[in-house]
Structure 1
Amino acid sequence: MKLIFKSSKELSEGPFSAGSLRRRPSAAGFVRVGPAAVAGGRNSGRPLVGRRGAGARGRAEPEPAVAGGRGLARAVAAAAGAGPRWQDRGRQLQLGAPWCAAAARPQEEPEAPVAPADRTDPSGPEPPPPVGPRRGAGWPAMGSLFRSETMCLAQLFLQSGTAYECLSALGEKGLVQFRDLNQNVSSFQRKFVGEVKRCEELERILAYLVQEINRADIPLPEGETSPPAPPLKQVLEMQEQLQKLEVELREVTKNKEKLRKNLLELIEYTHMLRVTKTFVKRNVEFEPTYEEFPPLENDSLLDYSCMQRLGAKLGFVSGLINQGKVEAFEKMLWRVCKGYTIVTYAELDEPLEDPETGEVIKWYVFLISFWGEQIGHKVKKICDCYHCHVYPYPNTAEERKEIQEGLNTRIQDLYTVLHKTEDYLRQVLCKAAESVYSHVIQVKKMKAIYHMLNMCSFDVTNKCLIAEVWCPEADLHELRRALEEGSRESGATIPSFMNTIPTKETPPTLIRTNKFTEGFQNIVDAYGVGSYREVNPALFTIITFPFLFAVMFGDFGHGFVMFLFALLLVLNENHPRLNQSQEIMRMFFNGRYILLLMGLFSVYTGLIYNDCFSKSVNLFGSGWSVSAMYSSSHTPAEQKKMGLWNDSVVRHNRVLQLDPSIPGVFQGPYPLGIDPIWNLATNRLTFLNSFKMKMSVILGIIHMTFGVILGIFNHLHFRKKFNIYLVSVPELLFMLCIFGYLIFMIVYKWLVYSAETSRVAPSILIEFINMFLFPASETNGLYSGQGHVQRLLLAVTALSVPVLFLGKPLFLLWLHNGRSCFGVSRSGYTLVRKDSEEEVSLLGSQDIEEGNNQIEDGYREMMCEEFNFGEILMTQVIHSIEYCLGCISNTASYLRLWALSLAHAQLSDVLWTMLVRVGLRVDTTYGVLLLLPVIALFAVLTIFILLIMEGLSAFLHAIRLHWVEFQNKFYVGAGTKFVPFSFRLLSSKFSDDVA
């Protein structure tokens, strides 16, 4: 491969000179990557070095420095665009009908409940999964992420006088999920609809109080602890207090609005009198002006003096109008009154508040002079149409003066009364703000309790409420304790109690998480809530998700910045401002532990790639020595024959190649990650692409194979051993015989072929293609007997396909016909007839157990009637085709690890080259002044482009790899989430309460 130095001075004095590139003691590292071992090919392990400006003379280059650019682009585009088909979440068939455990009586030892299976499968005889733990198994660990919690259906018997207190205790603990026993009853016909309406009325009052408190800019204190639901005897008292407070506030607010409106009208009247005082002086100027007009025009423009001489009645209308309506108002007056009006305008100096809307706008004062009563009526109607504020106009100066004095007195009185009203209103609101938080929480809890009570049913005597709830088996003792606590608080003589009951329904899925695992569980649940008791991918996603992200985002510097940001969020997670931040910041805060692991793994992969802001770090010294390639003691012919350099070669060749076969050139792999010399080589991309592409394929195949293995744990747990033999084993054979063998060839070539023998190393791509084409001429191959091994693997692959297609349907058909209505006593199944030892051994000793005769004959017959072989066969064939094709497309989909890693490295290199390198090349006079903004711009672009945009891209691709390529191998995701009746789920924010 090729390595370029800028000049011979850099070759002799740079960090990779003869003195600096000496072998150092090998340190222990996580991964050792040898250039020759990874890249493969004839010249793949040979960096090429050279100088600028020299001619292209000398020996021919084995490979061009940047050859294959278009091919690389096509490969990256193909890798980014290739993707598998989305697989149906219902690929995993669950046969048989749901079964349940026997009810646990208070005086008896409770039996192990039984899990229902999915009833959508028509195959019938396949046994369902158990609800409870297996026989002899202990209780599951609390908070286990491997599987969901074991659930049971419990029946609560609540006395009418204690039901409210019992549900209040259950809501505080958040233990159970209620089932609606009144689904056929409308919400308006339920028992406690009156209490729910009362709570809604209280919510309306509280919403009004919160709105008025916010309008008055009074802070709303929120308590540190949530108050309990109010006792029933205090509800009426609280309702009366809130209603009285509402009535008082509405009266005070109404009076305040009236006072404010009157005050604004008086202020407008004062401004109108002040402005129109100057309009009357124009009556003297009108007469000579109108006498200049022709006689016909003077008839329509009679001035004040002319009208007085004619004895006409002159009227005035004055007021204020909005600035935007002045032009239209004037045109309307002219057209309707036919010019028999005189309109005078003047703009107010300051904007005033509109008494009706409260909006501060610009106003114009107008004075309209008209002649005749009919014209006056038209003018007043037009003023009403344009929402003008019309006020009486004084006829004399004395009347104007009296009105102004009266207005000033009334304005002062209104100011005094209004201030006292506002002070009183603020006192009432401040007192209400002290208790509004507790009232809001209490009303919400009370409403939630009555909603749950509406889901209960009454017994025949109407003295006891019956509720059915889903509850984790590990919390049954807490459930009993909560019922006892509620009965004790109500003072009832007859306590409430509970029983576990059998069920044929699938329980909801409950996976306990903490603040660390919650984010990873949300990633899995976004694809689909797991089916009951199936393997949960979140346990493995905690490691695999940030690791695959880091493979695409591998940079020590960028990962360290992300790690510091996440660490800052983790250390300040209790800060109140973070909990009340905006939506985007809250999103980062909720995923702080995901970001923490993503940054930490990116630091690790950055060390493996030896990439820190697109530059390599020489910590342990390079394993390549340039001085070993230079010799002055040999003749030119010997130097040419041995491939050594001399002064002439260095001077006249732009690109020089390091030959690892020459003793002393390659002294061993770099202790940790990739050798830093590759950062200077022109064929760096060729080497890194080969390494990252093979690494992506290896990681992808291991990831998918692990998913198939996890499916075996599901079959074992649900007692479906035939799925292991007829589905999982053929899938593993198909995967390993083709793609597992590909990994073997990659690793074998890395280990067997060294730098000296890399010239004769065969191409893995050609060998893998020949495995399916059966060429006529035998190739050298990677090892002896390769053809026989490959034929054997293809034979195993070909045999696994028909087993995968037909094995399960034929087995179920045989089970249905030859063992019609065959019962197994596993957790509720019954052995109907005695079977031969061969049949028992075929299904396995754990699949058939005697001793439980709880199954009903009618239900067995229904199972037999629902069996549909054609549907089962078609479903299995579709899923098998999808799996076989998906193995190919999914493997290609993992090449996105290589493509995004390449894109991230190239973007980082472009930013460094265009910004930092330019700033560092400026001389010392202006370098300091230029370097600071350059570094600032580099930091901003690094954060927004490389950390946020590239990080988001890698995050989405990592989600895709987990949802499609990994989870569809074993994860059905067809369950329902366990949503407990818990007061902690109620919002305590006042913004949610105001309509």
Structure 2
Amino acid sequence: MGSMFRSEEVCLVQLFLQSGSAYNCVSELGELGIVEFRDLNPNVNAFQRKFVSEVRRCEELEKTFVFLEQEIVRTLSQTLQPPIPTPAAPQPRELLTIEEESERLARELKEVSRNRDSLRAQFTQLCQYRGVLKQTHSLTASQAPLGSFDPVGLAENRQDVRLSFVAGVVHPWKVPAFERLLWRACRGYIIVDFHEMEEKLEHPDSGEEVQWTVFLISFWGDQIGQKVKKICDCFHTQTFPYPENQTEREEILNGLRGRIEDIKSVMGQTEQYMQQLLARALARLPEWRVQVQKCKAVQMVLNLCSPSVTDKCLIAEAWCPVSQLPALQSALREGGRKSGSSVDSFYNRLQATTSPPTLFPTNAFTAGFQNIVDAYGVASYREVNPAVYTIITFPFLFAVMFGDVGHGLLMTLAALWMVLEEKDLKLRNNTNEIWHMMFGGRYLILLMGLFSIYTGAIYNECFSRGLATFSSGWHVLPNAEFYNWTEDTFKSNQYLSLDPNITGVFTGPYPFGIDPIWGLASNHLTFLNSYKMKMSVIIGVIHMTFGVCLSLFNYIHFRDISSVFLVLIPELCFMLCLFGYLVFMVIYKWVVYGPMTSDSAPSILIHFIDMFLFTENEDNKPLYEGQMTVQKVLVIVAVLSVPVLLLGKPIQEYVAYRKKKTQLTGDRRPLLPENGSINAHQGDMETGEEEEFDASNVFMHQAIHTIEYCLGCISNTASYLRLWALSLAHAQLSEVLWLMVMRISFKQFSYVGSVIMVGIFAAFAVLTVSILLVMEGLSAFLHALRLHWVEFQNKFYSGSGYKLSPFAFSLIICTSSLN
């Protein structure tokens, strides 16, 4: 594979696939995943292509597989695991076997499932009927024999009224409404009894376990009976025949017990047979699904091909990395060998009329950084890849804003756990989108944590507290002896100044990072703000200048040498003469002026303003001799670089156009040559077409670029101050969290205080993770992203390309499993 610095060289190839071996050749290419096929039939409808019937056949098989998978998940509560090893794409004969076996299996499953559901419904009805007879037995056992019955002492001249019953079961949720409607519709001329069944039975529609309610309705008269039956039908109750005497009820109850036992036995056998069918499906379905996915993918690729004139082979076009051309030829030979073809398929390289796709080789470590760059825009073909430098600059700029030893250590441990457990399938196959993003960027998070520990050590901050790793360079005793400070002096003054000019007060800088004594100083925030602000400007100017320099590699590679002198050098002059000089003044002042001479140090801000005004401030002494002359020269050079940047490239293109036009004019020949043939030079005339030079378009484009760059240098430099702002916000939030939460637990030194400390520490830990690690970490990540996308990449990166999307079975199967 090629280098990440520049995309791999990709060429356009034309494949001649023999009709008998085309399927196997494409299958071999799918296993390799090295080519991206182009559609040679863009004007042909998807339903009118040659292999659409095979694609539909695979789609029908996939529907069958979905049914089988749903049955497996519902009955066995198991998920399908990917087959190991992954099977190859099936031959047409094998696909026919898969189709027959899967359809037979699905047909048997549907039949068994239908029989099982029918048996379950019968079993539920029989159990409900048995429950009705059991629950209502106590209500009717003591009643007189059914027949002529005078419930209210009817007179002799009245007709005998027959007492009737309706018995059944109703869902417990419907009981109140059912009872109320019966009472109102029948006007109280009924007797209704409700009892819960002893056992729960399955609902025939939803499958849930329900404790049904048994009801027995006693009534007189046919009209009331019709009303009762209609109401029962409206509430979807299950009614059963109710015998008139005890003997018949006992006979039916005994018969129900036997039928229930028989159905239980049949249901057990049916369930066992269904388990066997599902076990067979579970063993074969993962392999079948992968094979059909591969077959469908191959057929869809064949639909992109164009048949030859003789219809004996298929012609395809594809993008392929030049380094993989031998592998391409080997795959075509292997496909022909598997098909038993006497004629090998082959390829030819074509001259591409469009820009080839971009391909960068990545691995588990570099993929996250490459995705960050590609999210902004895919690199143009053979353009310099910013991801190489983003590997270091992105976590570093993040750490400048997030610098804290404690927080960086927590982030490092979390990322290290993901890195060590990266082979765990549960973590890798988790479908949660947020987790998928975090796990994919585990190496990025690891570097962010490590750099945060480093910058936190420079800031000397660990959960907002300073670490006294080395002895401080500042000492109070010599200052106290010099000014004769007493105990009363310390009690009466909240703050006392240390004079570095007194011998022994300042013995030298801290070995690494910020001196911890600054944490006790009243001007602690002022000092850190000044330091971080200047550091942000220095980092920003270096970062942007490096981006401008990277454009040199693009100009050299694309042989645009004129842009080196007319674009690159003016851009560097403008950047370095202004902002590079600002960085020089900051570093020069740090080196020349120390604690002893800090009182006489000049103001860089005033010097920088005077530099543009061509004035000299007597109250602000110069940093070095000849400073005014140097500054005037730098400003003049920066100003002169703007017209060069604005006009240089359009003039150069116009001169090149005129030169080319003059050469074409001098090379023209007579329309009719000596032999009198009009078509003799037709090809030369067609290839010699001239393109008009659009001066306004070229000038406008360069003017936009010049204005954008010059203003961008100013705004982008100011944009890097977000490094200071985010770092300050993180430090202040961390300190507030420590003072307002954690410090409370240090006020009580007792057993009760220990218990309180545990609770407070838990709250401190939760707030630290949720606010400082998650929220502040995400904020710093987004700001670092913006600094790379806008401030850094716009100096050299166009990002107008498109990715090489190879035809690879592994990508198709992975995408299908995620969906």
TM-score, normalized by the shorter chain, greater than 0.5:
yes
Match of 2:27 in 1: 168
- Give the 3 Å change call, closer, same or farther, for CA 390–809 of structure 1 in structure 2: farther
Deviates more, 1:186-195 or 1:388-397: 388-397
Q: Which runs of 5+ in 1 are unaligned?
A: 1-141, 285-290, 292-301, 633-638, 824-830, 835-852
Match of 2:447 in 1: 597
- Give the 3 Å change call, closer, same or farther, for CA 145–196 of structure 1 in structure 2: same
Does the CA contact (< 8 Å) of 2:141 and 2:246 recur in 1?
no
Task: State the distance in 2 between where 1:265 and 1:920 align.
Answer: 70
1:791 counterpart (620, 629, 632) = 632
% same residue: 54
Task: Map 1:392-411 to 2 at 5 A.
Answer: 392-411=241-260
Alpha-carbon offset, residue 317 of structure 1: 2.9
Residue deviations 1:343-392 (CA, integer Å, cap 9, x gap): 44334455432112212335332333455545544443333332222222
Asked if 1:660 is matched to 2:500, the reply is yes
Q: 1:153 is aligned with what amino acid? A: L
Q: Secondary structure at the match of 1:796?
A: helix
Match of 2:676 in 1: none
1:806 counterpart (647, 654, 658) = 647
Does the CA contact (< 8 Å) of 1:616 and 1:679 recur in 2?
yes
Alpha-carbon offset, residue 739 of structure 1: 1.1
Q: Which runs of 5+ in 2 are unaligned?
A: 145-149, 669-680
Match of 1:183 in 2: 42
- Give the 3 Å change call, closer, same or farther, for CA 988–253 of structure 1 in structure 2: farther
Asked if 1:226 is matched to 2:66, the reply is no
Match of 2:539 in 1: 699
2:772 counterpart (931, 946, 952) = 946
Alpha-carbon offset, residue 156 of structure 1: 0.6
Asked if 1:672 is matched to 2:512, the reply is yes
Match of 1:826 in 2: none
Residue deviations 1:635-681 (CA, integer Å, cap 9, x gap): xxxx4xxxx64555434322110111112211111111111211221
Match of 1:627 in 2: 477
- Give the 3 Å change call, closer, same or farther, for CA 408–925 of structure 1 in structure 2: closer
Q: Secondary structure at the match of 1:310?
A: coil
Asked if 1:235 is matched to 2:95, the reply is yes
Match of 2:672 in 1: none
Asked if 1:253 is matched to 2:113, the reply is yes
Task: Map 1:491-502 to 2 at 5 A.
Answer: 491-502=340-351
Task: State the distance in 1 between where 2:299 and 2:712 align.
Answer: 51
Alpha-carbon offset, residue 880 of structure 1: 2.2
1:912 counterpart (730, 738, 741) = 738
Alpha-carbon offset, residue 970 of structure 1: 1.4
Task: State the distance in 2 between where 1:989 and 1:382 align.
Answer: 54
Residue deviations 1:320-359 (CA, integer Å, cap 9, x gap): 2223333443454456556665544334455432112212
Q: Secondary structure at the match of 2:624?
A: coil
2:62 counterpart (168, 193, 203) = 203
Q: 1:794 is aligned with what amino acid? A: V
Task: Map 1:301-316 to 2 at 5 A.
Answer: 310-312=159-161, 315-316=164-165
Does the CA contact (< 8 Å) of 2:95 and 2:292 recur in 1?
no
- Give the 3 Å change call, closer, same or farther, for CA 855–881 of structure 1 in structure 2: farther
Does the CA contact (< 8 Å) of 1:318 and 1:366 recur in 2?
yes
Task: State the distance in 2 between where 1:307 and 1:691 align.
Answer: 116
Alpha-carbon offset, residue 280 of structure 1: 4.2
Does the CA contact (< 8 Å) of 2:610 and 2:616 recur in 1?
no
Q: 1:240 is aligned with what amino acid? A: E
Asked if 1:482 is matched to 2:308, the reply is no
Task: Map 1:716-731 to 2 at 5 A.
Answer: 716-731=556-571
Paired residue total = 800
TM-score by length of 2: 0.92
Residue deviations 1:918-976 (CA, integer Å, cap 9, x gap): 33342255444444444444333333322222222211111111111111111111111
Does the CA contact (< 8 Å) of 2:566 and 2:645 recur in 1?
yes
Higher RCO by CA contacts (8 Å cutoff, separation 6 or greater): 1
Q: 1:194 is aligned with what amino acid? A: S
Residue deviations 1:614-643 (CA, integer Å, cap 9, x gap): 2222223111121211227xxxxxx4xxxx
Q: Secondary structure at the match of 2:213?
A: strand
Task: Map 1:117-156 to 2 at 5 A.
Answer: 142-156=1-15
Match of 1:244 in 2: 104
Alpha-carbon offset, residue 194 of structure 1: 0.9
Task: State the distance in 1 between where 2:357 and 2:100 align.
Answer: 41
Alpha-carbon offset, residue 598 of structure 1: 1.1
1:715 counterpart (530, 555, 558) = 555
- Give the 3 Å change call, closer, same or farther, for CA 251–781 of structure 1 in structure 2: same
- Give the 3 Å change call, closer, same or farther, for CA 375–181 of structure 1 in structure 2: farther
Does the CA contact (< 8 Å) of 1:261 and 1:356 recur in 2?
no
Q: 2:807 is aligned with what amino acid? A: F
1:557 counterpart (395, 406, 410) = 406
Residue deviations 1:180-215 (CA, integer Å, cap 9, x gap): 111111111111111111111111111111111112
Residue deviations 1:806-831 (CA, integer Å, cap 9, x gap): 332333334334543878xxxxxxx9
Does the CA contact (< 8 Å) of 1:172 and 1:983 recur in 2?
yes
Match of 2:321 in 1: 472
RMSD across aligned positions (CA): 2.9
Match of 1:607 in 2: 457
Task: Map 1:15-164 to 2 at 5 A.
Answer: 142-164=1-23
Deviates more, 1:214-223 or 1:762-771: 214-223
Residue deviations 1:668-707 (CA, integer Å, cap 9, x gap): 1111111121122121111111100100011011111111
Alpha-carbon offset, residue 502 of structure 1: 1.1
Alpha-carbon offset, residue 253 of structure 1: 1.1
Does the CA contact (< 8 Å) of 1:341 and 1:369 recur in 2?
yes
- Give the 3 Å change call, closer, same or farther, for CA 532–378 of structure 1 in structure 2: farther
Residue deviations 1:720-756 (CA, integer Å, cap 9, x gap): 2222223222222222222111111111111122223
Match of 1:537 in 2: 386
Q: 1:917 is aligned with what amino acid? A: R
- Give the 3 Å change call, closer, same or farther, for CA 992–679 of structure 1 in structure 2: closer
Deviates more, 1:754-763 or 1:742-751: 754-763
Match of 1:886 in 2: 712
- Give the 3 Å change call, closer, same or farther, for CA 179–331 of structure 1 in structure 2: same
Does the CA contact (< 8 Å) of 1:816 and 1:822 recur in 2?
no
Match of 2:673 in 1: none
Q: Secondary structure at the match of 2:595?
A: coil
Does the CA contact (< 8 Å) of 1:180 and 1:455 recur in 2?
yes
Does the CA contact (< 8 Å) of 1:283 and 1:303 recur in 2?
no
Task: State the distance in 2 between where 1:256 and 1:750 align.
Answer: 86
1:321 counterpart (170, 188, 192) = 170
Does the CA contact (< 8 Å) of 1:221 and 1:434 recur in 2?
no
TM-score by length of 1: 0.76
Task: State the distance in 1 between where 2:805 and 2:817 align.
Answer: 24
Q: Secondary structure at the match of 2:194?
A: strand
Does the CA contact (< 8 Å) of 2:570 and 2:642 recur in 1?
yes
Does the CA contact (< 8 Å) of 1:143 and 1:513 recur in 2?
no
2:573 counterpart (733, 738, 752) = 733
- Give the 3 Å change call, closer, same or farther, for CA 854–214 of structure 1 in structure 2: farther
- Give the 3 Å change call, closer, same or farther, for CA 775–992 of structure 1 in structure 2: closer
Asked if 1:587 is matched to 2:437, the reply is yes
Task: State the distance in 1 between where 2:154 and 2:224 align.
Answer: 19
Match of 1:682 in 2: 522
Task: State the distance in 1 between where 2:218 and 2:525 align.
Answer: 90
Residue deviations 1:246-285 (CA, integer Å, cap 9, x gap): 111111111111101110111111222223334447978x
Larger helix percent: 2
Does the CA contact (< 8 Å) of 2:64 and 2:102 recur in 1?
yes
Match of 2:810 in 1: 984
Asked if 1:895 is matched to 2:745, the reply is no
Asked if 1:264 is matched to 2:124, the reply is yes
Q: 1:665 is aligned with what amino acid? A: V
2:689 counterpart (837, 861, 864) = 861
Q: 1:796 is aligned with what amino acid? A: V
Does the CA contact (< 8 Å) of 2:555 and 2:561 recur in 1?
yes
